[in-house]
Amino acid sequence: MPKLCEVGSASWWSEVKRLGLPLLSECPSDETSINLTFLWRDPNGSEFHSPIKRVYIDINCVTDHHTFSPPSLKRLPGTDVWHWQMEVEKNWRGSYRLIPTTGEWVGTQREKELSPNEDKHLMQRHWWRSLLKAAIPDPLNRQAPNIGQWGRKFSAVHLPDAPMQSSWQKYDLKLKSQESEGSFSGKLKESIWQSTSLKVSRRIWTYTSGEAPNPEQRPLIILLDGDRWAKEMPIFSVLEEQTHSGNLPPALYLLIDPINGHQRERDLTCSEKFWLAVQQELIPQVKKEMPHTTNPAHTVIAGQSYGGLAALYAGLNWPTRFGCILSQSGSFWWPNIGLIRKGNQSNATGWLTKCVIQDKFSPSGLRIFQQVGTRENKLSAVNAQLKDILISKHFDVEYQNFIGGHDTLCWRDGLIKGISYLLKNFSYQD
């Protein structure tokens, strides 16, 4: 904790900056938990000079996004200090943002102004999404901010007991020193896939890791939501390091841009049209310049959220082309959003799970690596439900839980582990 001096003084804030946020302290009530203290320094000074009325905090899979009263830091009267504390597992990892807000954006005030005929749920959702435009990373978090979905910045928390993400340690050090990925640009190519069947144009990225003795045998790894791994949290230096260390074989990585949220939802929610286009248009386009295997046992599709749903859908339907599936936090509730709403006690299933129950698919040599976070609430339940059904139908499933939420910060380590697991028996033949 900061040294004993006047709270809010320049010397106090200097000590906070030295320690870095959030501050950690023991939790007297539970030895397996720890207290995190978040602080924010109001640049306008005290409440007598500042227009800021709330400082909401958006913590991945902790903050409730379905209320007009999400958690907010509290001002220490007469100072520029805003503070808030939460209790969390000592091995937690997650991301967060702060949202300083003036009076007209205070949620409880917006709720009071609703007319009786307005849809409260819809208006609350609109308010929260609008509020996120003002979200900022924590300026006193000692790590450089990461880029989140749709280019938004967030701050990271890696608690001391959190599982080590050894494959990403060098990346984090580079991020902190603001080094670039430029040394790997020679193997990285960005191009355009103009799909005639989908009638859309999108970016794709291809990356070849290591030196393949026989390029035509090179594994193919398809990463959905490719912009996440190409731009938001660039994975290329990590792939190169993991290939050089022998954890991953030299391979061809194909990253597919979702374009936008609407197109993403259209393509990744069990779309036969999308996957036929990938097989009939995209893969042949890439193969002309970059030879790779057609062996399904050495072809991986990896995705998160909707991407996790899409990856498994592709494997189940085309196991003779896509034999290895890496699904993280898969949206297996789709299309029944009610399955993951708070208070839902239904034993219903999502569409893809129902198809598995109805024996519409055969194991056919398909191998599945499935992950979900302990803080993903109902999403954890629908993932566990599908896992149990897949195993009962004799599918080969490696299932893991990670301590965290619906968070790229958690997915990134599992992505490397999953690719390594699925390709562990691969070797180049002379």
Q: Is 204 helix (H, G, I), strand (E, B) or coil?
A: strand
Residue 326 falls inside a structural domain: yes
* Spatial separation of the C-alpha atoms in residues 288 and 210, rounded to whole Å: 20
Res 179 pLDDT > 70: no
**Residue 185 half-sphere exposure, CB side, CA atoms within 13 Å?**
5
Query: 158, 187, 211 — which closes off a domain?
Result: 158
Q: Give the H/E segment covering residue 23.
A: strand 23-26
Give the chain's domain count: 2
**Co-location of 199 and 146 in the same domain:** no
CA distance 154 to 152: 7
The pLDDT tens digits for 227-278 are 999 999 999 999 999 999 999 999 999 999 999 999 999 999 999 999 999 9
Residues 107 and 78 in one domain: yes
Amino acid 121 reads H
Please compute the mean of the pLDDT values over residues 83-91 and round it to a whole number: 96
Helix 236-244 / helix 169-177 crossing angle, nearest 10 deg: 140
Taking 60 as the threshold, does the pLDDT of residue 4 lie above it?
A: no
pLDDT tier, 138 (very low <50, low <70, confident <90, very high otherwise) = very high
Task: Check residue 176 and give its pLDDT.
Answer: 63
Query: Mean per-residue pLDDT for 366-378?
Result: 96
**Three-state DSSP class for residue 411:** helix
* Same domain (yes/no): 175, 154: no
Strand partners, 95: 156
344-355 average pLDDT score = 89
Mean pLDDT of the chain: 93
The pLDDT score that the predictor gives to residue 147 is 79
Q: Please, are residues 232 and 220 in contact by the beta-carbon 8 Å criterion?
A: no
**Residue 134 to residue 58: CA distance in whole angstroms:** 11
What pLDDT does residue 150 have? Answer: 61
429 domain-assigned: no
Structure tokens at 156: 């990271």
Task: Quickly state the pLDDT bin for 183 (edges 50, 70, 90).
Answer: low
Q: 256 and 147 share a domain? A: no
Domain that holds residue 356: 166-422
- 278-304 tens-digit pLDDT: 999 999 999 999 999 999 999 999 999
Contact 215, 290 (CB under 8 A): yes
Domain shared by 142 and 230, yes or no:
no
The pLDDT value recorded for residue 156 is 95
Candidates 94, 102, 104, 88; CA nearest to 33 is 88
Does residue 175 sit in the same domain as residue 137?
no
Judge if 286 and 395 occupy the same domain.
Answer: yes
- 5 assigned to some structural domain: no
Residue 180 has pLDDT above 60, yes or no: no
* Domain final position from 102, 128, 158: 158
The residue count for the chain: 430
Place of tokens 């299933």: 349
Residues 255 and 381 in one domain: yes
Residues 325 and 403 in one domain: yes
pLDDT over 90 at 112, yes or no:
yes
Does any domain span residue 242?
yes
The answer to whether position 90 is within a domain reads: yes
Question: Which of residues 117, 134, 158 is at a domain's end?
Answer: 158
Q: What is the pLDDT of residue 347?
A: 79
Rounded to the nearest angstrom, the gap between the alpha carbon of residue 171 and the centroid of all alpha carbons in its chain is 17
Does residue 43 sit within a domain? Answer: yes
Average pLDDT over residues 210-218: 95
Query: In the structure, what pLDDT confidence band is assigned to residue 136 with cuts at 50, 70 and 90?
Result: very high
pLDDT exceeds cutoff 60 at 208: yes
Q: Which residue has the higher pLDDT, 147 or 424?
A: 424
Please confirm whether the linkage preceding 145 is cis (ω < 30° from 0).
no
Domain shared by 154 and 234, yes or no: no
CB 174 within 8 A of CB 144: no
Q: Are residues 136 and 202 in the same domain?
A: no
Planar angle of CA 156, 167, 278, nearest 5 degrees: 95
Nearest one of 198, 263, 194, 192 to 225, comparing CA atoms:
263
Which residue intervals of 153-230 are DSSP H helices? Answer: 169-177, 226-227
Q: What phi and psi, each to the nearest 5 degrees, are found at residue 366?
A: -65, 135
Give the pLDDT score at 178. Answer: 56
Are residues 173 and 146 both part of a single domain?
Answer: no
CATH number at residue 365: 3.40.50.1820
Residue 31, domain CATH: 2.60.40.10
Quick check: is 427 in a domain? Answer: no
With respect to residue 2, please indicate whether it lies within any of the assigned structural domains.
Answer: no
Mean pLDDT of 177-190: 67
End-to-end CA distance of the chain: 60
- The mean pLDDT value for 158-164 works out to 94
Percent of the chain predicted with pLDDT > 90: 87
